[in-house]
Structure 1
Amino acid sequence: MTTIARAIRSALLTADPRAKCFATRQVARDWRKGALTWEFDVAMPDQPAWPDAPELLAPGQMPKRRKGGSERGRIALWHSLAHIEFVAIDLALDMAGRFGAEMGREFVSDFMDVAADEAMHFALLARKLEQLGSHYGALPAHAGLWEAAHATRDDVAARLAVVPMVLEARGLDVTPATLDRVRASGDEGGAKILTRILDDEIRHVAAGTKHFLRCAQLTQSEPESLWQNLVKRHFKGHVKPPFNDSARLAAGLSRGFYAEIAH
């Protein structure tokens, strides 16, 4: 029987996007069925395997997306979203594989569910791009999305603070406006995809927040202060308004965490 660590590592080292989605969902199914042994006998890679395309660019080199409803602008939007979800697969897999031995079975189960969701989101977005006559990899993409994982590779509390509670929480803030624009353009199919992603991301942020609160309890730390200190230390960007306070609160992330350090 394969170990959970080896199964996760194999999915992380799968470069082809479609194959990574299949591998991720298979690992999640095998874990739920009890077909993987509880053993962390291999280390996670410093960086997952990625396809040759898209070309990854530094944030300052990324072309500006044109506002408006042009076909090119719509493709750029969906491609950007697809890339975010593709990297999110690896972020969730790495979370479970890197910190699972330390954090336990519930932690692994939660983040394997997150990984399976992200694989499904990517598949929906890749299909949307194909419907628009494009494909994932056709445009350059943001190179910095893995940086937060690498910077927090040795500290589960820092990883939880930055990835689910900053990066994914930011998705809760910006997705409703994108959803409104997509729906206003008459793209009801695209609106359904974004609605599904938004609903799932609330659960993802909730999972991260739950396990972060456990880390704070184990270290006898005040959760909000611990979160703020870790974000200041490990997150290069800014925690920026406007905030979707209701969605954040539904995920257990109250304003007490982020209001004081918001820019």
Structure 2
Amino acid sequence: MESDLERKIFLVDKLQQDWESSDFDFIPMEVVHRVPDAGRPESPELVPPKDLPRRGLGTREGHAALIHSIAHIEFNAVNLALDALYRFQNMPKAYYQDWLRVAMEESYHFQMIREHLYHLGSEYGDFKAHNGLWLTTYETDHSPRVRMALVPRTLEARGLDVTPPMMKKLRAIGDKRGVEILKILLRDEIGHVEVGTRWFRYLCREEGLNPFDEFVTIVQSYFHGDLRGPFNFEARVEAGFSEEEIQWLKSIEQGFVDRAETT
């Protein structure tokens, strides 16, 4: 719930120190509160995705706006990793170790991108943003199985698809530092999606569910909008997607291609 950026980063670091000191109590709390809006600074102003202005990457403002959008995703990812730690209190200890590592890495990502944004003449909060990632986190707070399927394996996995094209765009305008940062993000995000995959499969085994059938059902029931490609199949395989899931995504991608060719 901490809204101050510097304080939140400090507290995430302290969580890691507490973990290393074994200074945690794993007894579940009697009440776990819903969090409709996690702690964040007053800026950026949050608007619906359709209300975000479109800016060309060829302008300084457009360049900064793209980096700002990445910073916003990483900041939200810190909150969602912390929520995964807090909310689901009957998981094995390794689950908490995994999500604490994710929170630490997302915090590091945010700090790198924030610094790069500063060198572009902007600050986090200077551009409008949307709250879609946290809204989905809130909507999935009733089930760790649904959370793992929809947030890391669907929304965050989309980052695996769009990061290589973003790197290409930044390379084209000479932003070498931006490209290097995105390389780090892509490497780490594969690991984060893999964490979601591993614990999703664990929960399916615990409940006697078929992971593929359950994943498709959850996406179709909870995901807002169209799940569409192009997908980064190589990165998704690294993140633990099964061959059955890859074939399903390939059929979705081909379906959009076929519809585009007939219109």
Would the TM-score normalized by the shorter structure come out above 0.5? yes
- AA of the residue aligned to 2:142: D
Question: Distance between the aligned counterparts of 1:96 and 1:65, measured in 2?
Answer: 36
Identify which of 30, 43, 56 aligns with 2:46.
56
Question: Distance between the aligned counterparts of 1:63 and 1:255, measured in 2?
Answer: 38
| CA-atom RMSD in angstroms | 1.5
Question: Distance between the aligned counterparts of 1:141 and 1:258, measured in 2?
Answer: 31
> 1:10: which partner in 2?
none
Question: Distance between the aligned counterparts of 1:33 and 1:123, measured in 2?
Answer: 25
- Alignment of 1:218 with 2:220, yes or no, is no
Percent identity (aligned): 37
Q: CA deviation at 1:29?
A: 2.7
> 1:92: which partner in 2?
81
- AA of the residue aligned to 1:237: G
- AA of the residue aligned to 1:228: V
- Alignment of 1:123 with 2:103, yes or no, is no
> 1:38: which partner in 2?
26
> 2:172: which partner in 1?
184
- Preserved contact between residue 82 and residue 99 of structure 2 (Cα < 8 Å): yes
Structure 1 window deviating more from structure 2 (107-116 vs 36-45): it is 36-45
> 2:261: which partner in 1?
none
Q: What TM-score results when the alignment is normalised by the length of structure 1?
A: 0.90
Q: CA deviation at 1:259?
A: 4.5
Q: CA deviation at 1:63?
A: 1.1
The size of the alignment, in residue pairs, is: 249
> 2:61: which partner in 1?
72
Q: CA deviation at 1:96?
A: 1.2
Question: Distance between the aligned counterparts of 2:243 and 2:229, measured in 1?
Answer: 11
Question: Distance between the aligned counterparts of 2:38 and 2:247, measured in 1?
Answer: 34
Q: What TM-score results when the alignment is normalised by the length of structure 2?
A: 0.90
Q: CA deviation at 1:185?
A: 2.0
Question: Distance between the aligned counterparts of 2:18 and 2:55, measured in 1?
Answer: 40
| Residue ranges of structure 1 left out of the alignment (5+ in a row) | 1-12
Equivalent residue runs for 1:244-259 within 5 Å: 244-257=232-245, 259=247
- AA of the residue aligned to 2:85: A
| Residue ranges of structure 2 left out of the alignment (5+ in a row) | 257-263
Question: Distance between the aligned counterparts of 1:229 and 1:259, measured in 2?
Answer: 16
- AA of the residue aligned to 2:49: P
Q: Deviation per CA, 1:32-75, whole angstroms, max 9, x where unpaired?
A: 33122223335244131111110000112111232x32101110
Q: CA deviation at 1:220?
A: 1.1
